[in-house]
Amino acid sequence: MTQVFDVVIVGARCAGSPLAIMLARRGLRVCVLDKARFPSETPSTHVIQPCGAAVLDRIGVLGAALAAGGVPIDRFTLVNDDVRIDGSFAAESFPELGMCVRRVTLDALLVDAAVATGADVRTGVKVTGVVSVEDRVVGVDTDQGVVRAHLVVGADGRHSTVAAAVGAPEYQAVQGGRTPAWAYFEGVPDRSGRLRLGRLGENAYLASPTDGGLFMVCVATGAGFGRDRNAEFATAVAGWPELADVLHGGQRVGPVRVMNKWHGYFRQASGPGWVLLGDAGHFKDFSLAQGISDALRHGERLADMLPAHLSDHDSVDAVARRWWRWRDSDAQPMFWFATDSGAPGPPTPVVTELLRQVANDPAATLTLLHILNHERHPKRLLTPRRLTVATTRALRTHPALATKEIATTLANEIRRMRYRYQTLPGTTQTVASGES
């Protein structure tokens, strides 16, 4: 079996296999390694924004995902305190619909597609480190031997073996705001393609029908979950009466799954002979369901940028550095938008008043959907006029809370401005110049 490839990709899930498909279609020799055997579960919001579904369509997997029961998302509801926003992914504005599909289904389809495209996919293979010659990564060590390649891509998630092996430092790290738990329900009558996001009291919610005739519910709490997570989860679901009504008549199946000890970060995304993709390279708050789409979009951009001949190492490394700067430029606005959206504590008065304006303005609601689809910058929603109106109303109705929120927001903005002028690890490039 061939042990020298153009690219070896560590991780076969929603970052690694799509990239393998794109590169194999170009005629490159691609090897994909994953310690899991598929189908296999992994923590995820399950939700794919329309921009991510479009990538699945381009690599030929969208139809298979829909045929396997993936639920098209054509409607959107956001509830924040007493504010409710309803929107639609109308065809005239969104050529593709979003989708909710379990990772146990999606990842297996992606692996099968990578094999069908000609990639050498090896599951049940544990990568233990990287192989270097002088300062350049030239392959990976596995429990079944060495696999060499011109480029090593770490697409192996938050606890990336590749990131640890190359010593990729984190920057702009932020603590996780809440602890998410998710579960599946069967027998839920509502099978409409509506994505529900909620923020009520101390809890955040994300819910949607998904494949297998199931309904997926994610609840994130600031206090976390103790030993009786089943009862705590049920109590949290009851905290959103609308969601509890949707689930009425349904029955939870399987365990309540919890993701502990997470945080948001960017990691150095490239170096001599290596690249980090997906959660291996950056991770943000899950409350806006952006991770799968980001992995798909960023992988597509990397595939488009890589040169035809990966044996030209200087060219590969230069392209990888440019892709890294583009990734940060692309991901920064949503990173902070999601961080703010997932911040612990109850809904704040200024944000609530801002969303109240959006709820009463169909054009603003559409802008919010375009932001979630990575087509608009969050600043398009957070206009000076809306912020002024929201702040004035919040100060009038909740003066102490609004004043505290304004002070926190200003402190965060100052810190983020400093982040923009940080030097990226291992380079002389700043985040801000990467954004230009």
The pLDDT tens digits along the chain (436 residues) read 447 899 999 999 999 999 999 999 999 999 999 999 999 999 898 999 999 999 999 999 999 999 999 999 999 999 999 999 999 987 777 878 999 999 999 999 999 999 999 999 999 999 999 999 999 999 999 999 999 999 999 999 999 999 999 999 999 999 988 899 999 999 999 889 999 999 999 999 999 999 999 999 999 998 888 889 999 999 999 999 999 999 999 999 999 999 988 999 999 999 999 999 999 999 999 989 999 999 999 999 999 999 999 999 999 999 999 999 999 999 999 999 999 998 889 999 999 999 999 999 999 999 999 999 999 999 999 999 999 999 999 999 999 999 999 998 888 888 777 776 666 676 666 665 544 3
Query: pTM of the full predicted structure?
Result: 0.93
Do residues 166 and 270 share a domain?
yes
Tokens of 62: 């969208």
- 358 within some domain: yes
In this predicted structure, what is the pLDDT of residue 90?
78
pLDDT value for 276: 98
- Give the model's pLDDT for residue 433: 52
Answer with the one of 258, 285, 308 that is the final residue of a domain. 258
| Helix, coil or strand: residue 377 | coil
**Number of structural domains in the chain:** 3
Q: Is residue 208 part of a domain?
A: yes
* 41/126 same-domain check: yes
Residues 271 and 291 in one domain: yes
Contact 275, 302 (CB under 8 A): yes
DSSP state of 143: T
| Concatenated DSSP letters of 14-76 | TTHHHHHHHHHHTT--EEEEESS-SS-------EE-HHHHHHHHHTT-HHHHHHTTPEEE-EE
CATH number of residue 183's parent domain = 3.30.9.100
Of 244, 216, 194, 200, nearest to 87 (Cα)? 194
- What type of residue sits at position 241? P
pLDDT score at 224? 81
Same domain? For 169 and 183 the reply is no
Question: Is the same domain home to 378 and 296?
Answer: no
Clarify whether residues 124 and 236 are in a common domain.
no
Query: How far apart are the C-alpha atoms of 281 and 292, rounded to whole Å?
Result: 13
Final residue of a structural domain among 241, 258, 275 = 258
Q: What is the pLDDT of residue 436?
A: 33
Specify the pLDDT at position 92.
Answer: 72
**Ramachandran quadrant class, 296 (left: phi over 0; alpha: psi -120 to 50; beta: rest):** alpha
Q: What is the pLDDT of residue 180?
A: 93
DSSP per position, 207-260: EEE-STTEEEEEEEESS---S-HHHHHHHHHHTSHHHHHHHTT-EEEEEEEE--
Q: Which of 195, 230, 258 is the last residue of a domain?
A: 258
Q: What is residue 317's predicted lDDT score, i.e. its pLDDT?
A: 97
Residues 115 and 234 in one domain: no
Say if residue 208 is in the same domain as residue 155: no
The answer to the question of residue 154 being in a domain is yes
The answer on 309 and 251 residing in a single domain is no
* Tokens found for residue 33: 């390694």
Q: Are 405 and 394 in contact (CB under 8 A)?
A: yes
- The answer to whether residues 309 and 274 belong to one domain is yes
Q: Is residue 343 part of a domain?
A: no
For residue 429, the model assigns a pLDDT of: 66
Number of CB atoms found within 10 A of residue 248's CB: 10
106 and 215 inside one domain? no
Is 74 within a domain?
no
pLDDT at 226: 85
Q: How far apart are CA 76 and CA 60, in angstroms?
A: 26
- Residue 91 belongs to some domain of the structure: no
The CATH number that applies at residue 171 is 3.50.50.60
- Is cis: bond before 39, omega within 30 of 0? yes
**Kind plus residue range of the DSSP H or E element containing 195:** strand 194-200
126 and 25 belong to one structural domain: yes
pLDDT of residue 416: 79
Domain contains 221: yes
Q: By C-alpha distance, which of 196, 235, 192 is closest to 217?
A: 196
The residue segments making up the domain with residue 388 are 348-425+431-435
| Structure tokens belonging to residue 46 | 């399950």
Tell me whether residue 75 is in a domain. no
| Spatial distance between the Cα atoms of 351 and 338, rounded to a whole number of angstroms | 13
